[in-house]
Amino acid sequence: IDLAARRAWLDKVRAILAERLQDPPGLEELARRLNCSSRSLRRHLQQQRTSYQQLLDELRFARAKELLQSGDMPIYRIAEELGFSETASLRHAFQRWSGQPPSHFRA
């Protein structure tokens, strides 16, 4: 597969995940939607030097920054929208992603 096709495929994976950040599809469901096996999905992601979790984290981090900068949505609502069961989980993930607490990204 050429580079453009790989990028298009990865964009499709991102789009599927992005439409359901609150309740993301598991690896099996994602593979079904892409018409491949979960093993093939993992292999393709590995060839792109990424993983299911890395893509999900990347999308959640981008959306969290958007929500934090665009208004005064409470942190617990942002956590819910991104599929975190607890606010503390979002705070911990955000710290891991950026090295800073979510409060530093408020507009």
The sign of the dihedral angle between the CA atoms of 49, 44, 10, 53 is negative
What does pTM read for this prediction?
0.90
Domains identified in the chain and CATH numbers = 3-105 (1.10.10.60)
Query: Tens digit of pLDDT for each residue in 8-55?
Result: 999 999 999 999 999 999 999 999 999 999 999 999 999 999 999 999
